[in-house]
Amino acid sequence: MGVSENNAHYGHRLRVYRKIGDEIYDEVYYLTVNGKPVTKKREREIRSIAKARDKELLNYQTEYQQEMESANPVKFHQNGRIIGLTHPHKRSETQTGDIFKLRIRLPNGNISWGSISIDLYGFDEAYAQAIQRIVEALSINKRTKIYRRMKAAQEFY
C-alpha cells in the first residue's frame, strides 16, 4: 500500500502498511505531539523516515514474492482450480466446441496461450494434455507435490 497520510481528530499521522506473506506491517508515524503539529523540519524528518521504511518493506515484499514464485510456479484458486487453466462454458453460438483454455506465465515473463479440445480427446485425455503442457512449459518434475496437486484438481473442472 505504501505511505498514506491521515488527519483524524486524534492527530495528523503517516501510516506505512504492507502485507508480506501472512504478516502485516502497519506502522504509524505521528506528525503531532500533544495535539500540536511538529515543526516543519521535524515533519520532513518523519516523512523521510516513513518513506525509507516503506521502501525497505517494499524490497522485502518483492524478495518474498520472487521467492514464492520460484518455489511454486503453479498457483491455485481458493476453489482448487489451477490459475491459467479454464474450462469455459458455451456462451454463444460462435463457440464451436468444448475446450480447455491455457494461459501459462513462463519464467522469462512471457505468456503462452493454447487450447485443447475436449470434444476431440475426451475430458480425461484433454485434461492430461493440459497438465502436460503446463509441466513442459514450467519444467516441473512429475514426482513433485505440485504435479500431484495439479492432477488432483481435475475434480474441480
pLDDT of the residue at 109: 78
Residue 8 is predicted with a pLDDT of 77
Locate the domains of the chain by residue range: 2-71, 85-156
Residue 34 grid cell: 500533544
pLDDT digits (tens, 9 = 90+) for 100-131: 999 988 878 788 899 999 989 999 999 999 99
Task: Say if residues 80 and 153 touch (Cβ distance below 8 Å).
Answer: yes
pLDDT at residue 91 in the model: 63
Torsion angle, CA of 111/115/116/117, rounded to 10 degrees?
A: 170
pLDDT band at 93, cuts 50/70/90? low
Q: What pLDDT does 90 receive?
A: 66
- Which of 6-10, 142-146, 149-153 ranks highest by mean pLDDT? 149-153
How confident is the model over 27-58, as pLDDT tens digits? 999 999 888 889 999 999 999 999 999 999 99
Query: What is the mean pLDDT of the segment spanning 82-110?
Result: 81
User: Which amino acid makes up residue 73?
Assistant: P
Q: Which residues pair with 23 in a beta bridge?
A: 20
The pLDDT score that the predictor gives to residue 61 is 93
pTM (2 d.p.): 0.56
Please tell me the distance from the alpha carbon of residue 64 to that of residue 70, in angstroms, as a whole number.
Answer: 10
pLDDT at 68 over 80: no
d(CA 68, CA 146): 13
